[in-house]
Amino acid sequence: METQAIGSLTASRVGLGCNNFGMRIDEAQTATVVRAALDAGITFFDTADAYGGTLSEEFLGRALGRHRDEAVIATKFAMPLGDEGRGGASAGWVAEAVEGSLRRLGTDRIDLYQQHVPDETVPIEETQGALDDLVRAGKVREIGNSNFSDAQIDAAAALSAERGWAQFATAQNHLSLLERAPLRRVAPACERHGMALLPYFPLASGLLTGKYRRGEPPPPGTRLAVMPEQRVSQVLTQRNLDLVDALTAFAAARDHTILDLAFAWLAAQPAVGPIIAGATSPEQVRANVAAIDWTLTPDDLAEIDTILAEPEPEPEPSA
């Protein structure tokens, strides 16, 4: 497994997304998946206090156990937590949230602590100062953001540089062959500030695995099978299904799968760091790791751009 620097950290190019832990799989299954990830060379584990109602952090911490020092643990704060609606990015909540995550993960430091979502109700000075305090105290090694815009990334970078505070090392955003918006503005912001862009949902909720078929309901046990019908209809659009067909054919012509292509394409994008893919079985872990081995050529990337290009709008009928 190739590795990559994230600030002072060194992480595997493929990461394990832990949002299934405590939701789709139980603690025993989590332990099996984590062991498979470690065996496959994965060192980057991405979770959040809100995943599984805090169970994801608990399950991950216990599954890593004596292998804690082999892992780069990334977790997040700011999403509403529990029935009390706690969350956000206030200094008070940052200080409380990190203690909860440290306790649940069973560790004395968090390698990458990320603000899960922007909080427009709290000045960035307050949040950035609180995160800097955590770094100075040794509770957090690096900090990151998630779901930030390029303008928010630029503002945080400017403030931290002015105050001499810890800088964001990462930006985690929804990025895949079917969701390319971050490449327009967020990726260039990451390049400007020396940050790694961490793609989440790299397989488009499973659409880029080949599991779903046109005109058929999502297979039992898949992510879309347990999602609300409205969300399913947003993913299984005619346009997306057409793209999946074309991308599948492109990959097959080169003796690869569409899953291989999903990882290889992301790995070829500017500023992209560890690709965070969830897994509910050791087989999925191994498939994700194997997919990163394919290196796309410039001609491959140009052909993919042609496939993904938005169709020209139909001309207006003449009067």
Q: What local confidence, expressed as pLDDT, does residue 220 receive?
A: 77
Looking at residue 154, what is its pLDDT? 98
Tell me whether residue 304 is in a domain. no
Residues 6+ apart with CB under 8 A from 268: 295, 296, 301
Mean pLDDT across 117-124: 97
Q: Is residue 267 part of a domain?
A: yes
What pLDDT sits at residue 188?
98
Does residue 43 register a pLDDT over 70?
yes
Joined tokens for residue 91: 């200094």
Model pLDDT, residue 210: 82
Closest CA to 116 of 135, 131, 129, 105: 131
Share of the chain above pLDDT 90, in %: 84
Per-residue model confidence as pLDDT tens digits over 199-246: 999 999 889 998 887 777 777 767 777 677 766 777 778 888 999 999
Q: What is the CATH number of the domain that holds 281?
A: 3.20.20.100
Range of the domain at 82: 3-204+258-294
Residue 46 within any structural domain of the chain:
yes
Position 307 in a domain: no
**Active site positions, annotated:** 51
- pTM, 2 dp: 0.92
> Considering the domain boundaries, does residue 18 fall inside one?
yes
Confidence of residue 250 (pLDDT cuts 50, 70, 90): very high
State the average pLDDT over residues 4-28: 96
> Is 79 inside any structural domain?
yes
pLDDT score recorded for residue 237: 85
Residue 7 lies in a domain: yes
* Dihedral angle sign, alpha carbons of residues 23, 27, 32, 37: positive
Give the pLDDT of residue 222.
Answer: 72
Per-residue pLDDT of 257-311, as tens digits, reads 999 999 999 999 999 999 999 999 999 999 999 999 999 999 999 999 999 997 6
Categorize the per-residue pLDDT at 313 as very low, low, confident or very high, splitting at 50, 70 and 90: low
Residue 159 domain flag: yes
The pLDDT, as a whole number, for residue 199 is 97
Number of independent structural domains in the chain: 1
Sheet arrangement for strand 140-146: 196-200, 168-174, 140-146, 110-115, 72-77, 44-46, 14-17, 275-278
Q: Identify the pLDDT of residue 203.
A: 94
Confidence (pLDDT) at 84:
66
